[in-house]
Amino acid sequence: MQLWSLEGNTQKLDGGAMFGNAPRAMWARWIEPDAENRIPLACRCLLVKDLDGRNVLFETGIGAFFEPKLRERYGVVEDRHVLLESLAGAGLSHEDIDAVVLSHLHFDHAGGLLAPWAEGEPPRLLFPNAVFLVGAEHWRRAQAPHPRDRASFIPELAGLLEASGRLELVEGGYSKALGRSVRFHFSSGHTPGLMLSEVGGVVFCADLIPGRPWVHLPITMGYDRAPELLIDEKRAFLEDKLARGVRLFFTHDHACALAELTRDERGRYGTRNEQASLRGERVAGAAG
């Protein structure tokens, strides 16, 4: 099978929010902020071609579903649906995708499921031939969000996914749609039931580890619901991936799609052999 990193719409968000209680003097060395204290963020997706004969897309990024006012509020840079262009660059359209795997349903990860905003038009689901995979615990959260994270969900999306008749809620380590080819891990420090997908020796880190700076155990986001829990989950997650040689795929790192995990003599995690993009890298299945 082949691995492709697909760029979606990008964002500029407040650096302090992205780095939680880490001081600006520290995080500004990792990612330079602009005059408004914002840092650049990717919304990168992973495409796996020929996964048991299927095209599987992991996440869809933020997309272009926001009306102009909200696009500006949330720092979305482009007004077009960049993921659709990236799919075309890999020789596919959204109609060619057989499964879409969503770590969670926050708008910067699931907004790309929707067609671009058009004045007077209701939200419309893309990917007409795909099965949609969502963790069952997170689905329950999306049905009844907390006031703290309600704004992170797209109100119409859950109904559209249900109405498609192609929604699978994943309860355990494997799904009906993808079988043993994709292994799932779960985390609740960022949002309840965050689903982390492992395929072909690569794990999609989603918002457990948005990019290289967050590999460092104490670094969390202000958006995380339970930072101490997230750190404990991240420690166990990284220990497992290091022991098995699983590479890390980053959705929000503006300059790095994939990296190998390291740990130094002090026990501090880091990365090496970073790759800015993947263009059809061939790997063997199945998941560990």
Give 66-118 pLDDT, tens digit per residue: 999 999 999 999 999 999 999 999 999 999 999 999 999 999 999 999 999 99
Measured N-to-C along each axis, helices 157-164 and 136-143 cross at an angle, to the nearest 10 degrees, of 130
Q: Are 167 and 176 in contact (CB under 8 A)?
A: no
Cα–Cα distance between 131 and 127 in angstroms, integer? 9
**Stretch 31-49: mean pLDDT, rounded?**
98
Residues near 229 by beta carbon (within 8 Å), at least 6 away in sequence: 188, 189
Strand partners, 114: 125
Is 39 in contact with 31 (CB distance < 8 Å)?
A: yes
Size of the chain, expressed as the number of residues it contains:
288
pLDDT at 287 over 70: no
Residues 6+ apart with CB under 8 A from 80: 64, 116
Side-chain half-sphere exposure of 22, counting CA atoms within 13 A: 25
Average pLDDT over every residue of 179-208: 98
Q: Please state the pTM of the whole predicted model.
A: 0.97
Task: Name the 3-class secondary structure at 45.
Answer: strand
Would you give the end-to-end CA distance of the chain in angstroms?
15
